[in-house]
Structure 1
Amino acid sequence: MPLALAALAGGCAHYQPATLAERPALVAALPDMPAHPLSAAEVATLAVARDPDLVAARAKGGVAEAQLVQAGVLPNPSLTGAFLPLISGAGTVPAWNLGLAQDIKALLVYRPKRRGARDSVAQVRADLLWQEWQVAGEARQLATDIASREQTRLLLQEAVTILEHRYRVTQRALAAGDVTLVTAAPSAVGYQQARTNLQTLDQQQLQDRHKLNALLGLTPDAVLPLAPVGAVAPLDIAAARATLDTLPARRPDLLALRFGYAAQDEALRAAILAQFPDLILGGSTSSDNSRVVNAGPTLQLGLPLFDRNQGNVAIARATREQLRAEYAARLSATVGQVGALLSELAQLRDQLAAVERDLPAARAAAVRASTAFGNAALDERAYVDLVTNRFTKEQEVQTLKLALLDRQIAIEALIGAGLPGVDTLGLTDPGTRGAAR
């Protein structure tokens, strides 16, 4: 007996404390930082590996795996026994009894619970892949926005430099009484607007750098060198629209919802099977105090007079219906979202083409204005308006180009272009397993 108890104790889990983090895990620089500035694709790869929320999400996979292990454990049989020493009477020896029993109802629901646990694990894995898609898309978009705005900043800084010079000149002339306030006003307004545009861009840059650093597990003040945005192949809108029909089989979030529905479907199966009465089968043997030994089967049957598991069946059925509705809503929203972004992309392309057609004329007008103003053939207001119009058009082109890139990156993240597919999970679509069950 002592050896048997020691063997049982050896197979048991043991407690070990795990302390919480005492300080944030943010770092000031990436380990093994490449010598070259990072492209948007490299930043996306790093974000998937380092994002703190993704690291925490991956730990959920361990919980689901543990639940799968628990679902695969068969219910233990129960052992009963008693030793009854002789106290008084005609008997000659102590009495005893020994019984072994197994809960049969627990075996009935074993298979659906096991399948449901497998589907829950698959749901967690698909959810994790979807989070990786989102993090990769967000990191790529932030890196692209930051690098693109650096090019826009050069234009805004040039506008500030030119208009600040005119502002200083006219302010000195105004102080000397050589010009009126009406003459000095255009340069002051133009300079203030140009400076405001530059400050707004710098504020957005800082906010986006902070967001990007957070995705990479960096401190807010860490400096991440980014490569300029190179030529990006335009998205084929027709080909992207053609992928909408296959999104349910390719989008991890939709696949996760399908696995969640399958897990709940198994929960409903288990609840229906649990309507059967509690049934415990076993056998026992006993000896009374006159050495008469008895042995035979035992049966314990629950009487389903009040509780027929009707509440759990109703809850499981309603939950399954809720998940079915959620999947339908997500599918509609997904197709609608991608379709809307594709329409916006087409509109932005048309708008960019129109602004780019106007840009050469605005540049030429600014050059002529500078020459005419230098020859005193153009007043201050007209000069400032033409120079400001040129930089406004330049900024509008850059803004539309960035908006196009953002839409394209968002669409590619939503349809999974260039991202790991659900086939990398090694999972079977639950919709193809219904008949086999």
Structure 2
Amino acid sequence: MAALFFNPDLQAVRAKLATTEAGQVTAAQRPNPVLQFPLQWTVNPNTGVSPWIVGFALDIPIETAGKRGYRVNEAGHLVTAARLQTANVAWSIRSQLREQLLSLWSTSERFGLLQRQVDLDQKLVTILEKRLAAGYASTWEVNQQRLSLIQDRNELLAVQREMAAAKVRVASVLGLRAEALSNAQLDLTGFSSPVPELPPQGIRRQALLNRADVLEGLAQYEVSQAALQLEVARQYPNLHLGPGYTFDQGAHKVGFDFTGLELPIFNRNEGPIAEARSRRLEAEARVKQLEAKAFAEVDSAVAAYNTTRGMMSQNESQLAVQRRQLRTAQRALELGQDDRMSLTLAEKTELLARLAVLDATVQMQQAVGKIEDAMQRPISGPTVPDSLSEFAK
């Protein structure tokens, strides 16, 4: 909600929508009549006759062949297209925000796991140093573990920098300064929730029926159709009715002119009609391109989701095995059958498996994000809009 309120891109497209809606008022306007007030004075009037010639006349334009209706229809479809463009920008903002929140969540989770890895490596260094002093370890083993500890600390610093950068990017998508999130507590645990099975055919159907860019393309096609109908109607000239009255040197004259009738002799608006027909064909081709793009994105997203789902299952199985081995090592230490170094190594191995699961989870959530982008509809959540047009409100 904050992003949809503060983001400047959405504010700009909403301003454009307001301009388009104002154009709908303009399209519905009827042409105003024109008042003419001729005034003449006769230089040599007849004796006893007023030298003045005074009158007024109206020019009342009348649009024919339903031009106003086609113009209103075109403006209405332009408003629909502008609203769908607003919805498309809104979804783009939502998609960017999800991507950056996922990055913030993954770096936060990785930071905690790497912190634990640093602690375990520090513990291993301490154990090896004691073994070196007792003559049970070599200097090479101690130095290798120290190098591993240095690498872990460098990786931890890199993740910490990435976490700070992710928070800045989140604030940028929200349209806020980074300081606004300094004390904010963001609940991002939803990224660790399991994702349900997704039927590919249902995704393809949603991509066709719900994507704002596809719907906008259809609206633009309707705009081109209304524009073509308007150009066809312009083959028929508008009428100008001119009732009037003239006081002509004492004579009262009432007139009714029928003027301004354009004669379709040299052309019958063939050029603009041909241009409008070509623009309609362009709009039709654009709709087909958008539909093909939507289906391609769906297929790519589903393929990535299925691949990462298999990887996720494999990494979870590996983590389950490592946890069993960790419990075995803990039991062996309690019974005096193994030492603390073996337990620490088992903890580190289990931690590496947790890092692998985290990587697979991030890849799966990225695939879910691509599926949502392909449909332009959230897969799950506390509120799922029935139509993307709700974002345009």
TM-score (norm 1): 0.72
- 2:354 aligned with 1:394, yes or no? yes
Q: Which residue of 1 aligns with 2:69?
A: 111
Paired with 1:106 and 1:191, the residues of 2 have a C-alpha distance of 85
The Cα shift of 1:105 comes to: 4.4
Q: Which residue of 2 aligns with 1:54?
A: 10
User: Conserved in 2, the CA contact under 8 Å of 1:75 and 1:103?
Assistant: yes
Q: Which residue of 2 aligns with 1:351?
A: 311
Letter in 2 for 1:258: L
Letter in 2 for 1:237: L
| CA gap 1:164/1:221 in 2 versus in 1, 3 angstroms | farther
Q: Give the % identical residues.
A: 19
| CA gap 1:123/1:414 in 2 versus in 1, 3 angstroms | same
Q: Which residue of 2 aligns with 1:161?
A: 119
User: Conserved in 2, the CA contact under 8 Å of 1:68 and 1:114?
Assistant: yes
String of CA shifts for 1:394-437, please: whole Å, max 9, x gaps: 21210111221232244235432353233866x9xxxxxxxxxx
Q: How many residues align?
A: 372
Match of 2:92 among 134, 143, 168: 134
Paired with 2:91 and 2:322, the residues of 1 have a C-alpha distance of 41
Q: SS in structure 2 opposite 1:301? A: coil
Match of 1:234 among 178, 195, 205: 195
| CA gap 1:267/1:189 in 2 versus in 1, 3 angstroms | farther
Q: Which residue of 2 aligns with 1:94?
A: 52
The Cα shift of 1:361 comes to: 4.6
| CA gap 1:131/1:115 in 2 versus in 1, 3 angstroms | same
| CA gap 1:392/1:269 in 2 versus in 1, 3 angstroms | same
- 2:284 aligned with 1:319, yes or no? no
Paired with 2:158 and 2:278, the residues of 1 have a C-alpha distance of 51
Q: Which residue of 1 aligns with 2:387?
A: 422
Paired with 1:95 and 1:401, the residues of 2 have a C-alpha distance of 91
Paired with 1:95 and 1:292, the residues of 2 have a C-alpha distance of 10
TM-score (norm 2): 0.79
User: Conserved in 2, the CA contact under 8 Å of 1:74 and 1:107?
Assistant: no
String of CA shifts for 1:229-259, please: whole Å, max 9, x gaps: 1462423222x53242353332233222211
Paired with 2:233 and 2:360, the residues of 1 have a C-alpha distance of 60
After the TM superposition, which residues 144-293 of structure 1 pair with which residues of structure 2 at under 5 Å, given as runs?
A: 144-164=102-122, 182-183=140-141, 186-222=144-180, 223=182, 224-230=184-190, 232-238=193-199, 240-277=200-237, 279-289=239-249, 291=251, 293=253
The Cα shift of 1:98 comes to: 2.4
The Cα shift of 1:144 comes to: 4.0
In the alignment, structure 2 segments of 5+ residues that lack a partner are: none
The Cα shift of 1:343 comes to: 1.6
User: Conserved in 1, the CA contact under 8 Å of 2:305 and 2:364?
Assistant: yes
User: Conserved in 2, the CA contact under 8 Å of 1:79 and 1:99?
Assistant: yes
The Cα shift of 1:314 comes to: 3.3
Letter in 2 for 1:422: S
Aligned-residue RMSD, C-alpha = 3.7
| CA gap 1:108/1:228 in 2 versus in 1, 3 angstroms | closer
String of CA shifts for 1:196-229, please: whole Å, max 9, x gaps: 4323322332222112112333211332211251
Q: SS in structure 1 opposite 2:236? A: coil
Q: Which residue of 2 aligns with 1:64?
A: 20
Higher-helix-fraction structure:
2
User: Conserved in 2, the CA contact under 8 Å of 1:147 and 1:227?
Assistant: no
After the TM superposition, which residues 34-53 of structure 1 pair with which residues of structure 2 at under 5 Å, given as runs?
A: 45-53=1-9
Q: SS in structure 2 opposite 1:98? A: strand
Greater Cα offset, 148-157 or 407-416: 407-416
